[in-house]
Amino acid sequence: MFKFILSFILVLSFVLAQDFRSLIYSANAGGDSLGFLINDSNSYANRFSVNADYALEALKVTLEKVSDQANIIISIHSDTNNNPGSIIGTWNQNLIGNLPREYTIYTLNECITFEANSYYWISIKTVNEFEEAYWIFTSEDNYPYALSEDNQSNWTYNTGFAGASKIYAEIFYDPEPVIGDINFDNQLNVLDVVSMVSFVIGEIILDQNQIEVGDLNSDESLDVLDIVQSVYNIVNLEPMPDFELADFNPNSAYNGQLIGPSTFRNKISVYYFGKQG
Protein backbone atom coordinates (compact mmCIF):
# COMPACT_ATOMS: atom_id res chain seq x y z
CA MET A 1 0.00 0.00 0.00
CA PHE A 2 2.86 2.38 0.83
CA LYS A 3 4.36 1.80 -2.62
CA PHE A 4 1.04 2.59 -4.27
CA ILE A 5 0.54 5.79 -2.24
CA LEU A 6 4.07 7.01 -2.97
CA SER A 7 3.68 6.28 -6.68
CA PHE A 8 0.34 8.09 -6.72
CA ILE A 9 1.87 11.14 -5.02
CA LEU A 10 4.71 11.27 -7.54
CA VAL A 11 2.35 11.01 -10.51
CA LEU A 12 -0.01 13.58 -9.00
CA SER A 13 2.85 16.01 -8.37
CA PHE A 14 3.86 15.65 -12.03
CA VAL A 15 0.32 16.39 -13.18
CA LEU A 16 -0.14 19.39 -10.89
CA ALA A 17 3.25 20.80 -11.90
CA GLN A 18 2.49 20.73 -15.61
CA ASP A 19 1.10 24.22 -16.01
CA PHE A 20 4.14 26.01 -14.64
CA ARG A 21 7.12 23.69 -14.78
CA SER A 22 7.69 22.54 -18.35
CA LEU A 23 5.27 24.32 -20.67
CA ILE A 24 7.13 25.00 -23.94
CA TYR A 25 4.18 25.96 -26.17
CA SER A 26 0.86 27.51 -25.21
CA ALA A 27 -1.96 28.47 -27.59
CA ASN A 28 -4.88 29.18 -25.28
CA ALA A 29 -8.48 28.58 -26.32
CA GLY A 30 -10.80 31.48 -27.10
CA GLY A 31 -14.02 32.17 -25.28
CA ASP A 32 -16.41 30.43 -27.70
CA SER A 33 -16.77 27.09 -29.47
CA LEU A 34 -15.61 28.23 -32.91
CA GLY A 35 -12.81 26.16 -34.39
CA PHE A 36 -11.25 24.34 -37.32
CA LEU A 37 -13.49 21.62 -38.74
CA ILE A 38 -11.45 18.42 -38.77
CA ASN A 39 -12.61 15.58 -41.03
CA ASP A 40 -11.27 13.09 -43.58
CA SER A 41 -10.20 15.94 -45.88
CA ASN A 42 -9.34 18.85 -43.61
CA SER A 43 -6.43 18.64 -41.21
CA TYR A 44 -4.66 21.46 -39.39
CA ALA A 45 -1.31 21.86 -37.69
CA ASN A 46 0.28 24.41 -35.35
CA ARG A 47 3.96 25.30 -35.59
CA PHE A 48 6.10 25.68 -32.48
CA SER A 49 9.79 26.10 -31.78
CA VAL A 50 12.21 25.07 -29.04
CA ASN A 51 15.34 26.89 -27.91
CA ALA A 52 16.94 23.94 -26.10
CA ASP A 53 17.01 20.15 -26.23
CA TYR A 54 13.83 18.70 -24.73
CA ALA A 55 12.06 15.37 -24.15
CA LEU A 56 8.31 15.48 -24.80
CA GLU A 57 6.15 14.86 -21.72
CA ALA A 58 2.53 15.67 -22.55
CA LEU A 59 0.14 17.35 -24.97
CA LYS A 60 -3.13 19.19 -24.38
CA VAL A 61 -5.64 20.01 -27.11
CA THR A 62 -9.09 21.60 -26.89
CA LEU A 63 -11.62 19.79 -29.09
CA GLU A 64 -15.36 19.42 -29.60
CA LYS A 65 -17.08 16.36 -31.02
CA VAL A 66 -19.24 17.01 -34.13
CA SER A 67 -20.20 13.51 -35.32
CA ASP A 68 -21.82 10.97 -33.00
CA GLN A 69 -18.47 9.25 -32.68
CA ALA A 70 -15.21 11.12 -33.02
CA ASN A 71 -11.77 9.60 -32.81
CA ILE A 72 -8.90 11.86 -33.73
CA ILE A 73 -5.20 11.37 -34.39
CA ILE A 74 -2.74 13.81 -32.84
CA SER A 75 0.74 13.87 -34.36
CA ILE A 76 4.04 15.65 -33.84
CA HIS A 77 5.92 16.44 -37.05
CA SER A 78 9.36 17.70 -37.88
CA ASP A 79 9.51 20.82 -40.03
CA THR A 80 10.11 20.66 -43.78
CA ASN A 81 10.33 23.96 -45.67
CA ASN A 82 8.10 25.71 -43.14
CA ASN A 83 5.40 23.04 -43.31
CA PRO A 84 4.72 19.82 -41.37
CA GLY A 85 7.18 17.13 -42.37
CA SER A 86 7.69 13.55 -41.24
CA ILE A 87 5.75 12.30 -38.22
CA ILE A 88 7.87 11.59 -35.14
CA GLY A 89 5.03 10.64 -32.80
CA THR A 90 1.29 9.95 -33.01
CA TRP A 91 -1.55 9.30 -30.54
CA ASN A 92 -5.26 8.46 -30.80
CA GLN A 93 -7.90 10.21 -28.69
CA ASN A 94 -11.60 9.38 -28.40
CA LEU A 95 -13.75 12.50 -27.91
CA ILE A 96 -16.61 12.48 -25.43
CA GLY A 97 -19.51 14.78 -24.56
CA ASN A 98 -21.02 17.56 -26.64
CA LEU A 99 -19.04 20.57 -25.40
CA PRO A 100 -15.49 21.80 -26.00
CA ARG A 101 -13.07 19.96 -23.75
CA GLU A 102 -9.34 20.02 -23.11
CA TYR A 103 -7.80 16.57 -23.56
CA THR A 104 -4.46 15.57 -22.07
CA ILE A 105 -2.20 12.98 -23.68
CA TYR A 106 0.83 11.79 -21.72
CA THR A 107 3.80 10.88 -23.88
CA LEU A 108 6.48 9.81 -21.38
CA ASN A 109 6.80 6.26 -22.72
CA GLU A 110 7.64 7.30 -26.29
CA CYS A 111 10.85 9.19 -25.43
CA ILE A 112 10.37 11.75 -28.22
CA THR A 113 13.03 14.45 -28.24
CA PHE A 114 13.23 17.96 -29.70
CA GLU A 115 16.47 19.52 -30.89
CA ALA A 116 17.39 23.04 -29.85
CA ASN A 117 16.60 25.93 -32.22
CA SER A 118 14.25 23.85 -34.38
CA TYR A 119 10.65 24.08 -35.56
CA TYR A 120 8.07 21.34 -35.02
CA TRP A 121 4.34 20.92 -35.69
CA ILE A 122 1.38 19.44 -33.84
CA SER A 123 -1.42 18.26 -36.15
CA ILE A 124 -4.91 16.80 -35.79
CA LYS A 125 -6.97 14.65 -38.16
CA THR A 126 -9.84 12.15 -37.81
CA VAL A 127 -9.37 8.41 -38.10
CA ASN A 128 -11.88 7.96 -40.94
CA GLU A 129 -14.30 9.73 -43.30
CA PHE A 130 -17.34 9.33 -41.02
CA GLU A 131 -16.04 11.35 -38.07
CA GLU A 132 -15.72 15.10 -37.52
CA ALA A 133 -14.57 17.39 -34.74
CA TYR A 134 -13.77 21.03 -34.06
CA TRP A 135 -10.30 22.04 -33.00
CA ILE A 136 -11.20 25.10 -30.94
CA PHE A 137 -9.63 28.38 -32.05
CA THR A 138 -7.01 30.20 -30.04
CA SER A 139 -7.81 33.49 -28.33
CA GLU A 140 -5.17 35.31 -30.42
CA ASP A 141 -4.78 35.44 -34.21
CA ASN A 142 -1.00 35.62 -34.59
CA TYR A 143 -0.04 31.93 -34.66
CA PRO A 144 1.63 30.12 -37.58
CA TYR A 145 -0.45 27.16 -38.71
CA ALA A 146 -0.89 24.95 -41.77
CA LEU A 147 -3.95 23.52 -43.57
CA SER A 148 -4.13 20.25 -45.47
CA GLU A 149 -7.15 19.41 -47.64
CA ASP A 150 -5.89 16.00 -48.77
CA ASN A 151 -5.38 14.06 -45.55
CA GLN A 152 -1.95 15.59 -44.79
CA SER A 153 -0.38 14.89 -48.18
CA ASN A 154 0.15 18.60 -48.87
CA TRP A 155 0.11 21.65 -46.64
CA THR A 156 -0.50 25.40 -46.99
CA TYR A 157 1.19 27.74 -44.51
CA ASN A 158 -0.81 30.58 -42.88
CA THR A 159 -0.83 32.84 -39.85
CA GLY A 160 -3.88 33.68 -37.76
CA PHE A 161 -6.08 31.78 -35.32
CA ALA A 162 -4.70 28.32 -34.63
CA GLY A 163 -5.96 25.25 -32.76
CA ALA A 164 -5.89 25.57 -28.97
CA SER A 165 -3.10 23.40 -27.61
CA LYS A 166 -0.27 23.14 -25.10
CA ILE A 167 2.96 21.17 -25.18
CA TYR A 168 5.00 20.10 -22.16
CA ALA A 169 8.57 18.88 -22.23
CA GLU A 170 11.55 18.36 -19.96
CA ILE A 171 14.78 20.15 -20.80
CA PHE A 172 18.05 18.23 -21.03
CA TYR A 173 20.74 19.55 -18.71
CA ASP A 174 24.41 18.91 -19.38
CA PRO A 175 26.14 18.33 -16.05
CA GLU A 176 29.09 20.47 -15.10
CA PRO A 177 32.37 18.62 -15.70
CA VAL A 178 33.84 16.88 -12.67
CA ILE A 179 37.18 18.55 -11.98
CA GLY A 180 39.91 15.98 -12.61
CA ASP A 181 37.65 13.67 -14.65
CA ILE A 182 39.88 13.61 -17.72
CA ASN A 183 38.28 10.50 -19.24
CA PHE A 184 34.84 12.17 -19.00
CA ASP A 185 32.97 9.31 -17.37
CA ASN A 186 31.40 11.75 -14.86
CA GLN A 187 33.43 10.55 -11.90
CA LEU A 188 36.86 11.15 -10.45
CA ASN A 189 38.71 7.92 -9.74
CA VAL A 190 41.99 6.07 -10.09
CA LEU A 191 41.60 5.79 -13.88
CA ASP A 192 41.91 9.56 -14.14
CA VAL A 193 45.03 9.53 -11.95
CA VAL A 194 46.62 6.83 -14.13
CA SER A 195 45.94 8.92 -17.24
CA MET A 196 47.37 12.03 -15.58
CA VAL A 197 50.56 10.17 -14.65
CA SER A 198 50.86 8.75 -18.16
CA PHE A 199 50.51 12.25 -19.60
CA VAL A 200 53.04 13.82 -17.25
CA ILE A 201 55.70 11.20 -18.06
CA GLY A 202 54.98 11.50 -21.78
CA GLU A 203 53.35 8.16 -22.48
CA ILE A 204 50.05 9.54 -23.79
CA ILE A 205 48.70 12.75 -25.32
CA LEU A 206 45.68 14.55 -23.91
CA ASP A 207 43.58 17.09 -25.79
CA GLN A 208 43.09 20.63 -24.56
CA ASN A 209 39.72 19.88 -22.92
CA GLN A 210 41.25 17.04 -20.89
CA ILE A 211 44.17 19.22 -19.82
CA GLU A 212 41.84 22.00 -18.68
CA VAL A 213 39.69 19.59 -16.64
CA GLY A 214 42.81 18.00 -15.14
CA ASP A 215 44.34 21.35 -14.14
CA LEU A 216 42.99 21.27 -10.60
CA ASN A 217 45.08 24.15 -9.29
CA SER A 218 44.34 26.37 -12.32
CA ASP A 219 47.98 27.10 -13.14
CA GLU A 220 47.35 26.42 -16.84
CA SER A 221 49.28 23.15 -16.87
CA LEU A 222 48.69 19.55 -15.89
CA ASP A 223 51.54 18.37 -13.69
CA VAL A 224 52.42 16.43 -10.56
CA LEU A 225 50.68 18.99 -8.32
CA ASP A 226 47.39 18.19 -10.05
CA ILE A 227 48.01 14.48 -9.58
CA VAL A 228 48.55 14.97 -5.85
CA GLN A 229 45.37 17.04 -5.60
CA SER A 230 43.40 14.40 -7.53
CA VAL A 231 44.55 11.64 -5.19
CA TYR A 232 43.59 13.78 -2.19
CA ASN A 233 40.13 14.45 -3.66
CA ILE A 234 39.54 10.76 -4.35
CA VAL A 235 40.55 9.73 -0.82
CA ASN A 236 38.24 12.36 0.67
CA LEU A 237 35.21 11.83 -1.57
CA GLU A 238 31.88 12.06 0.23
CA PRO A 239 30.05 8.71 0.20
CA MET A 240 26.99 8.53 -2.03
CA PRO A 241 23.79 9.12 -0.01
CA ASP A 242 21.31 6.26 0.03
CA PHE A 243 17.59 6.71 -0.55
CA GLU A 244 14.59 4.92 -2.04
CA LEU A 245 11.99 6.07 -4.57
CA ALA A 246 9.10 4.24 -6.19
CA ASP A 247 9.81 3.12 -9.75
CA PHE A 248 6.65 3.67 -11.81
CA ASN A 249 8.21 3.27 -15.24
CA PRO A 250 6.05 0.55 -16.90
CA ASN A 251 9.03 -0.52 -19.02
CA SER A 252 11.32 -1.08 -16.03
CA ALA A 253 12.10 -4.46 -14.49
CA TYR A 254 11.68 -2.72 -11.11
CA ASN A 255 8.26 -1.20 -11.82
CA GLY A 256 6.26 -0.87 -8.60
CA GLN A 257 9.29 -1.40 -6.36
CA LEU A 258 11.21 0.96 -4.11
CA ILE A 259 14.72 1.36 -5.51
CA GLY A 260 17.79 3.46 -4.79
CA PRO A 261 21.60 3.41 -5.01
CA SER A 262 21.83 0.37 -2.69
CA THR A 263 19.70 -1.61 -5.17
CA PHE A 264 22.47 -1.37 -7.74
CA ARG A 265 25.56 -1.26 -5.54
CA ASN A 266 28.53 -3.07 -7.12
CA LYS A 267 26.48 -3.54 -10.29
CA ILE A 268 26.77 -0.19 -12.11
CA SER A 269 29.00 2.88 -11.84
CA VAL A 270 26.61 5.72 -12.77
CA TYR A 271 23.16 6.48 -11.35
CA TYR A 272 20.40 8.59 -12.86
CA PHE A 273 17.18 9.15 -10.94
CA GLY A 274 14.61 11.23 -12.81
CA LYS A 275 11.81 11.07 -15.34
CA GLN A 276 12.10 8.61 -18.17
CA GLY A 277 12.42 10.04 -21.67
Confidence bin at 20 (pLDDT 50/70/90): very low
Per-residue pLDDT reduced to its tens digit, 35-58:
999 998 899 999 999 999 999 999
Establish if 65 belongs to a structural domain.
yes
- Same domain? For 207 and 98 the reply is no
Give yes or no for a contact between 269 and 15, defined as CB atoms under 8 angstroms apart.
Answer: no
pTM of the model: 0.66
Query: Quick one: pLDDT band at residue 248, thresholds 50, 70, 90?
Result: low
| pLDDT tens per residue across span 86-131 | 999 999 999 999 899 999 999 988 889 999 999 999 999 999 989 9
Domain identity same for 68 and 167: yes
The confidence score (pLDDT) of residue 135 equals 97
Of 216, 235, 254, which residue constitutes the final position of a domain?
A: 235
As for how many domains the chain has, the answer is 2
Do 87 and 194 reside in the same domain of the chain? no
- Cβ-based neighbours of 118, under 8 Å, separated by 6 or more: 49, 50, 78, 79
Residue 227 domain flag: yes
100 and 230 inside one domain: no
Same domain, 93 and 197: no
Q: What is the per-residue pLDDT across 196-210, written as a single tens digit (0 to 9) for each?
A: 999 999 999 999 999
Host domain of residue 205: 190-235
* Domain presence at residue 241: no
The better pLDDT of the pair 206, 239 is held by 206
**Are residues 25 and 154 part of one domain?**
yes
What confidence tens digit (pLDDT) does each residue in 255-273 have? Answer: 878 888 778 776 765 555 5
Q: Is residue 26, in this structure, part of any structural domain at all? A: yes
Does one domain contain both 82 and 163? yes
Reported as a pLDDT band with limits 50, 70 and 90, residue 237 is: confident
User: Which residue spans within 81-182 are E strands per DSSP?
Assistant: 83-94, 101-106, 113-114, 118-126, 133-136, 143-148, 156-160, 165-171
In this structure, the answer to whether residues 132 and 224 fall within a common structural domain is: no
CATH code: domain of residue 129? 2.60.120
Residue 103 lies in a domain: yes
Q: Are residues 122 and 231 in the same domain?
A: no
Shared-domain flag, residues 167 and 197: no
pLDDT of residue 13: 45
Boundary residue ending a domain (235, 250, 270) = 235
Q: How far is CA 148 from the centre of its chain?
A: 28
For 83-87, 188-192, 229-233, 268-272, which range has the lowest pLDDT when averaged over its residues?
Answer: 268-272
